[in-house]
Amino acid sequence: MDIVANFFNVFYNESLPTPIFDIDDYIIQSMPNEFVVLFLSVNENNIDLYSKSESFVKLYSYFVEVESNPINLDSIKTIQYHILRLVKILNAKELKPHVLRLNTSEIISNQHARNLTNFFMQSSFQIQKASNTEQKEVNLKSLVEELDDILKRLYELKLQESIYVKLRKICENIQNHKFSIGITGVLSAGKSTFLNALLGKEVLGSSTIPETANLTILRYDTREHARVHFWNTSQWEELRKAGQYDKSLQAFVKDSESIFGDKLHSFITNETKTEEIDINQLDCYTSANHESKMCNLVKEVELFTNLKFLQNGVEIVDTPGLDDPITKREEITRSYIEDCDLLIHVMNASCVATQVDIDFILESLLENNISRLLVVLTRIDLISQRDLEQSLEYTKTSLVAQLKKAHYDGDIDSIIDRIDFIPTASFLALLHKTGREQEALDKGFTLDKTGIINVEQYLDKMLIGENSLKQKDILYLAYRGFLKIMESVRDDMYLQSKILNSSEQDLEKMIDELKEENDNLLSQLDLKNQELDSKKNELQDFLLSLQNFVNKSLKSEQDRLKGRIFDEAIYEYAKGNTPSQQRIIEILESGFSDCFSDLSRDYKYRLSRKVAQILLDEFDIKQPHIVFHAPKEQIAKSLGILVDSIPHLVSSHSKGKEHELSIKLDSKFQESFKIFGDVISHKNKEIEDKFLEYFSKISDLQSNVLKEQIAKKEEILNNTIEQRKNIYTQEMRDSIANKQKEINEVLRELSYITQVLK
């Protein structure tokens, strides 16, 4: 049953009334929920009580002239009728608390309160049910066309050009939006083979050993070609310095400089060098297995190809392994990932859920604000169905365990629910798509069984298709943008109409009210700035407590590791032996990495929770993106200090000199662990600076918005008063009234579609 009809059936036991007067929709739409409930609570049993209330009579007068339409049941029914016509715009669930307040004040009876509450809850359910049904049926492509039609209708109203500029920009953003898909995984996970299968063409080299040595960005172009970007001089120098404490990185730099000799500087230049290359040369620059080793000098590659999958603004970022020993390359990878619309994390089904995998998945969901993440398990043709199921279960169990270990206090199930898992046999899928399907069929795999079709359907649903969730989000933002602009236009036109049609006496009153409203706006600005100051203090207090937590944890880990070394030395001294330097190094290396990895994980989870609490969603200002990764270079440096000194210290002491050894061990461990403490200190300062800048921008925006509101109202007031001095004809009145009517119709449509898309 229609909600309006249901109301009059429940409370009056009659059909829809015939309205005896019209009410401007703007008045109803701007009503607070408290007043909505107040009018809907009136009936034949309490109308006399309401009629005697001066405040209610004043509210009643906003709808209709009291003298021509005194308060009676028919007039109340007319107001109720018009309110309920807009129930799809109102949030019925928010009305319930006001019913309880009226009941507590003994204005309405217990029975009447229960009836109203039940009505609102049932209405909410009906609206939600209708919205869900319509949402399933809505065609997003048709909504793009509908938005264009709305813009054409608004052009007929001849509004200010500045309004059309804003509306056109929103429409352009829909057409120009790009979709970025990040492909990640550890070395040898099978990323390149999976991506080739997805694209249906062997675009990237693949082998059983690590292949992709740098970042590759795939974009659409009718002409196939590639562009390579080399390291510049300063970046290469950073690699060299970091290699002092990282043996893998040190070997990488030395080998590269040895291979290229004097030619190195023709590629590594002060300004980043870029070269256009033929697509057939690609493996020379991207493959770690190519004899030229050119990939060592390349920071990233852009690959342009005419694959249909990449049309309509889709780009794919194929990354090196997350456990890449070249940390600078990993930094570049992570900076791209921050702006990806969707992440696909590839794992070998036979060895899933490494610590690197688990850390990355949790970072993506907790820190990068990724709403969903697709985990692709590759090479399922090499394991049994039972092993595959065990791999999936192990991955989920590991994620839950790490969240608990990091004392994550959110909804763990909701985190897991945001991850989708799709098993694939990528190589066999590639065979199907490149004319070698018989080889895959001989192994018992149809194209559908390879899992690649499931991946394509997932991408179509989530990201790329005309009715994808991503397209829905884009349209929601567009309709909401239109709605906000047109609500402002409606308010301005309502003020203009009110000024033009008021008497001289009412005009003076309106001017006073406008000044009072402007003063209230300035008072609101002070309150909002106080809220920002409170958040600043909250952040600073948190960062201080976080630094104390890190320092305390470092001291505990330092004492633990130093204790293991000291106990080992004492044990060997007691037997008259010199402790083995190799054994000391093994203890250091095994205890050191885990110590900092665990602390880094705990630090970033605490940080991500706090950042989520203090971010403000209502402002169109880019939010600070805060991430923290275990600082590999600093950890290598810290370990290097200990490995270079501790074994010698232990072997140069003996029984009877334990106290002297303990003091020297303390000194070296403090020097080593201080490096990590300084990293955290610098990170905290960076976070504080970013948020202070963020809050400052919000403060400026709030101030500018309110000042613009005040200036606009004063401009409307002055221009309209000037217009009053001229001849104001009935034709002009009709023109404004027609514009208001059309704007209200547009607003109803925008509000409805925005709710459907929400």
| pLDDT tens digits for range 406-443 | 656 566 777 777 788 999 999 999 999 988 999 999 99
Tokens of 356: 């690197």
Q: With 50 as the cut, is the pLDDT of residue 580 above it?
A: yes
Q: With 60 as the cut, is the pLDDT of residue 51 above it?
A: yes
Q: With 50 as the cut, is the pLDDT of residue 448 above it?
A: yes
Q: With 80 as the cut, is the pLDDT of residue 332 above it?
A: no
pLDDT of residue 209: 34
Band of residue 320 on the pLDDT scale cut at 50, 70, 90 = confident
Mind listing the pLDDT tens digit for each residue in 191-209?
888 988 988 887 775 543 3
Q: Can you tell me the mean pLDDT for 536-559?
A: 89
**Of residues 263, 602, 314, 670, the one with CA closest to residue 464:** 314
Token pair 């034709």 is found at 731
pLDDT of residue 645: 92
pLDDT of residue 126: 61
**Of residues 18, 577, 631, 707, the one with CA closest to residue 330:** 631
Band of residue 275 on the pLDDT scale cut at 50, 70, 90 = very high
Angstrom distance (rounded) from CA 695 to CA 621: 10
The share of the chain scoring above pLDDT 90, in percent, equals: 16
Q: Can you tell me the mean pLDDT for 713-717?
A: 77
Least confident range from 44-53, 248-257, 348-357, 621-630: namely 621-630
Angstrom distance (rounded) from CA 597 to CA 742: 61
Q: With 90 as the cut, is the pLDDT of residue 273 above it?
A: yes
**The one-letter amino acid at 96:** K
Q: Is 85 helix (H, G, I), strand (E, B) or coil?
A: helix
| Cα distances (Å, whole numbers) of residue 750 to 53, 482, 687, 744 | 37, 7, 39, 10
Token pair 């907790």 is found at 366
Burial (CB < 10 A; 0-12, 13-18, 19+), residue 169, is exposed
Residue pair 37/43 in contact (Cβ under 8 Å)? The answer is no
pLDDT of residue 741: 86
Residues 6+ apart with CB under 8 A from 103: 109, 110, 112, 113
Angstrom distance (rounded) from CA 215 to CA 301: 6
One DSSP character per residue, 132-190 reads HHHHHH--HHHHHHHHHHHHHHHHTT---HHHHHHHHHHHHHHHH--EEEEEE-STTSS
CA neighbours closer than 13 Å in the CB half-sphere of residue 180: 15
SS3 readout for 341-404: CEEEEEEEHHHCCCHHHHHHHHHHHHCCCCCCEEEEEECHHHCCHHHHHHHHHHHHHHHHHHHH
The share of the chain scoring above pLDDT 70, in percent, equals: 89
The helix (H) or strand (E) run that includes residue 299 is strand 298-305
**Of residues 203, 192, 199, 198, the one with CA closest to residue 279:** 203
pLDDT of residue 368: 58
Band of residue 135 on the pLDDT scale cut at 50, 70, 90 = very low
Tokens of 461: 């649903």
Strands 274-277 and 215-220: unpaired
Q: With 90 as the cut, is the pLDDT of residue 131 above it?
A: no
pLDDT of residue 629: 65
Least confident range from 73-82, 307-316, 554-563: namely 307-316
| Cα distances (Å, whole numbers) of residue 490 to 26, 30, 98, 163, 745 | 8, 11, 28, 12, 11
User: C-alpha dihedral over 82, 84, 85, 89, to 10 degrees?
Assistant: 120
Q: With 80 as the cut, is the pLDDT of residue 553 above it?
A: yes
pLDDT of residue 35: 84
Q: Can you tell me the mean pLDDT for 669-697?
A: 87
Q: With 80 as the cut, is the pLDDT of residue 93 above it?
A: no
Interhelix angle for 33-40 vs 54-61, to 10°? 100
Regarding predicted confidence, which is higher, 525 or 37?
37
Q: Can you tell me the mean pLDDT for 360-381?
A: 78
| Cα distances (Å, whole numbers) of residue 578 to 564, 567, 573, 649 | 16, 13, 7, 11
Q: With 60 as the cut, is the pLDDT of residue 90 above it?
A: no
Least confident range from 146-160, 302-316, 641-655: namely 302-316
Regarding predicted confidence, which is higher, 500 or 558?
558
Token pair 């991207």 is found at 286
Least confident range from 87-91, 256-260, 732-736: namely 87-91
Band of residue 34 on the pLDDT scale cut at 50, 70, 90 = confident
The helix (H) or strand (E) run that includes residue 744 is helix 730-757
Note the residue count of the chain. 758
pLDDT of residue 207: 40
Q: Give the torsion sign (CA, 301, 306, 311, 313).
A: positive
Band of residue 445 on the pLDDT scale cut at 50, 70, 90 = very high
Angstrom distance (rounded) from CA 753 to CA 736: 26
| Cα distances (Å, whole numbers) of residue 755 to 88, 171, 243 | 9, 19, 55
pLDDT of residue 429: 94
Q: Can you tell me the mean pLDDT for 698-719?
A: 80
Q: Over the chain, what is the mean pLDDT?
A: 82
Angstrom distance (rounded) from CA 131 to CA 121: 15
Q: Is 729 helix (H, G, I), strand (E, B) or coil?
A: coil
Q: Give the torsion sign (CA, 589, 594, 595, 597).
A: positive
Residues 6+ apart with CB under 8 A from 542: 610
Band of residue 92 on the pLDDT scale cut at 50, 70, 90 = low
Band of residue 154 on the pLDDT scale cut at 50, 70, 90 = very high
Residue pair 317/214 in contact (Cβ under 8 Å)? The answer is no
pLDDT of residue 212: 45
**Of residues 311, 364, 312, the one with CA closest to residue 340:** 364
Q: With 70 as the cut, is the pLDDT of residue 379 above it?
A: yes
Band of residue 189 on the pLDDT scale cut at 50, 70, 90 = confident
| Cα distances (Å, whole numbers) of residue 327 to 192, 578, 684 | 20, 37, 21
Q: Can you tell me the mean pLDDT for 50-62?
A: 85
Regarding predicted confidence, which is higher, 732 or 314?
314
pLDDT of residue 620: 65
Mind listing the pLDDT tens digit for each residue in 635-669?
778 888 898 899 999 999 988 888 999 999 999 99
Tokens of 746: 């547009």
CA Rg, the chain, in Å? 34
Token pair 């001291």 is found at 555
